Chain A
Amino acid sequence: MSDVSLLVNGKRVGGAVEDRTLLVHFLRENLGLTGTHVGCDTSQCGACVVHVDGKAVKACTMLAVQTSGSTVVTIEGLADGADLHPIQAAFKEHHGLQCGFCTPGMIMTATDMINRHPEGLDEATVRAELEGNICRCTGYHNIVKAILAASKTMAKGAAKGKAKQAA
């Protein structure tokens, strides 16, 4: 057992965990954050993607104890109260989900992708960057559409933010 302390969705959490506990199980079972899913459990499907220290990682392939001292963001940490995050809103608008199982991972991967490409995204880049996320409803077409739309909305938001700062 180890004592861990980390920031999850802005909240300090911690306690004693078995060293073999995977991050995804710590999030789901200890913290009740069941938005992060376990799909394949073999680091292929991406349903468990969360952000650790600002980077998308697969929570089924990391021990909780490895993240002690880190900042973790899960799907539950994206929305601002009742207001959906622009990527969540884009998935809703463009029907970027069917059964919804892969959606939390898709959205966390999309958030990371858009953050890393402030210059904007094209379809080929989005498809290449999504290779670690599997949708078994095969609804990729609308997922790609949603990510492209969100990338545009967020670029506009950032430009507005900069204009405000300059003013």
Chain B
Amino acid sequence: MYAVNYHRAASVAEAAKLVKNGDAKLLSGGMTLIPAMKTRLAAPSDLVDLSRIKDLQGVKVSGKTVTIGAATTHFDVAKDEKLRKACPALAHLASLIGDPAVRHKGTIGGSIANNDPAADYPAALLALGATILTNKRDIPADKFFKGLFETALKEGEIVTAVSFTAPAKAAYEKFRNPASRYAIVGVFVAKGKDGVSVAVTGAGDDGVFRSKEIEAALAKSFDAASLNGVKVPAKTLMSDIHASADYRANLIAVMAKRAVAAANA
């Protein structure tokens, strides 16, 4: 790792000032950034640690509105009793990320700001129609995720929370790479008052996306059987050493079926 200057921010305002230093990067759980720095794929001059800022932590549920602070760890999301009642699918998703030690450190804000094409949270936030709150503005999820490791965040902009309306039904099914535990295909289905939405992670050439084919089939009937024979086009899917685009296309339909069955259970 190259030399770096570490700063611990006490507030979002202080972090916003500190991140203007040199080529600074924001540090939350560090589960991606620190490995990237160790391999010298990332070499920030400064790190601004957000993980001790109290305002960025915790899950709030008020009626149907769920708000999760950006520095809330996967572990805290997974075990939150209020969330497990309001949107158990999201708590379950958090429990599938990495391993226990990674979940103790990694945060929801860090995950979405990084926007790894195989990360779990982007699928949930896109399917839930969530809003990403920053220190500058509110960004709808479908405007936030821009492509591989790309988001709508501007230089120095800090994610403070995510917010969404709890859906009537939702579930997440993930086909994991057994070594990395990242999704080869992950499908989040949500049925709310605006209809059914289905978001896919791990598979898209351009990162997380909504599957129109599966949404159309489920709009008729929110039932696993309505996905029989539904084909997902492989053209815009990734092919790599883990799986071909065709294999991923098939997996998307399979995971979507399982997710709908779980949501209806």
Interface residues of A (CB under 8 A from B): 2, 18-20, 22, 41-44, 46, 49, 55-58, 61-63, 65-66, 68, 109, 112-113, 129, 131-133
Residues of B within 8 A of A65 (CB): 6
Contact A57 B6 (CB under 8 A): no
Contact B6 A55 (CB under 8 A): no
Count of A-B contacts judged by CB separation below 8 Å: 69
1/0 contact string of B14-51 vs chain A (CB within 8 Å): 00000000000001001100110110000000010101
How far is it, in angstroms, between the C-alpha of A4 and the C-alpha of B123 when the chains are bound?
Answer: 39
- In the complex, whether B230 has a CB less than 8 A from a CB of chain A is no
Contact of B100 among A2, A43, A44, A113 (CB under 8 A): A113
How far is it, in angstroms, between the C-alpha of A57 and the C-alpha of B106 when the chains are bound?
Answer: 10
28 interchain pairs (CB within 8 A)? A19-B3, A19-B6, A19-B47, A20-B1, A20-B2, A20-B3, A20-B37, A22-B38, A41-B38, A42-B38, A43-B35, A44-B179, A46-B99, A46-B101, A49-B101, A57-B101, A58-B101, A58-B105, A61-B34, A62-B30, A63-B30, A65-B6, A66-B51, A131-B100, A131-B181, A132-B99, A132-B100, A132-B101
How far is it, in angstroms, between the C-alpha of A2 and the C-alpha of B38 when the chains are bound?
Answer: 19
Contact B1 A56 (CB under 8 A): no
Residue of A nearest to B52 (CB): A69
Residues of A within 8 A of B181 (CB): 131
- In the complex, whether B192 has a CB less than 8 A from a CB of chain A is no
How far is it, in angstroms, between the C-alpha of A61 and the C-alpha of B75 when the chains are bound?
Answer: 17
Residues of A within 8 A of B49 (CB): 66
- In the complex, whether B5 has a CB less than 8 A from a CB of chain A is yes
- In the complex, whether B102 has a CB less than 8 A from a CB of chain A is yes
Q: How far is the CB of B161 from chain A (nearest CB, A)?
A: 22
Q: How far is the CB of B1 from chain A (nearest CB, A)?
A: 5
How far is it, in angstroms, between the C-alpha of A113 and the C-alpha of B217 when the chains are bound?
Answer: 42
Residues of A within 8 A of B82 (CB): none
Contact A62 B4 (CB under 8 A): no
How far is it, in angstroms, between the C-alpha of A3 and the C-alpha of B1 when the chains are bound?
Answer: 19
Residues of A within 8 A of B8 (CB): 68
Given A66-B49, A129-B100: A20 touches B105 (CB 8 Å cut-off)? no
3 nearest A-B pairs in the assembled complex, by CB-CB distance: A132-B99, A19-B6, A55-B104
- In the complex, whether B156 has a CB less than 8 A from a CB of chain A is no
Q: How far is the CB of A8 from chain B (nearest CB, A)?
A: 18
Q: How far is the CB of B130 from chain A (nearest CB, A)?
A: 27
Q: How far is the CB of A62 from chain B (nearest CB, A)?
A: 7
Residues of A within 8 A of B37 (CB): 20
Q: How far is the CB of B136 from chain A (nearest CB, A)?
A: 26
Residues of B within 8 A of A112 (CB): 100
Contact B4 A56 (CB under 8 A): no
How far is it, in angstroms, between the C-alpha of A57 and the C-alpha of B6 when the chains are bound?
Answer: 20
- In the complex, whether B58 has a CB less than 8 A from a CB of chain A is no
Given A56-B100, A66-B51, A131-B181: A61 touches B105 (CB 8 Å cut-off)? yes
Most-contacted residue by chain B among A20, A68, A112 (CB, 10 A): A20
Contact B31 A19 (CB under 8 A): no
- In the complex, whether B147 has a CB less than 8 A from a CB of chain A is no
Residues of A within 8 A of B105 (CB): 57-58, 61-62
9 extra interface residue pairs, beta carbon distance < 8 Å, beyond A22-B1, A41-B38, A133-B99: A44-B179, A55-B75, A58-B102, A62-B105, A63-B34, A63-B47, A65-B6, A66-B6, A66-B30
How far is it, in angstroms, between the C-alpha of A63 and the C-alpha of B33 when the chains are bound?
Answer: 11
Residues of A within 8 A of B34 (CB): 61-63
Residues of A within 8 A of B102 (CB): 43, 58, 132
How far is it, in angstroms, between the C-alpha of A109 and the C-alpha of B30 when the chains are bound?
Answer: 20
- In the complex, whether B140 has a CB less than 8 A from a CB of chain A is no
Q: How far is the CB of A134 from chain B (nearest CB, A)?
A: 10
Contact A56 B101 (CB under 8 A): yes
How far is it, in angstroms, between the C-alpha of A67 and the C-alpha of B75 when the chains are bound?
Answer: 18
How far is it, in angstroms, between the C-alpha of A149 and the C-alpha of B1 when the chains are bound?
Answer: 41
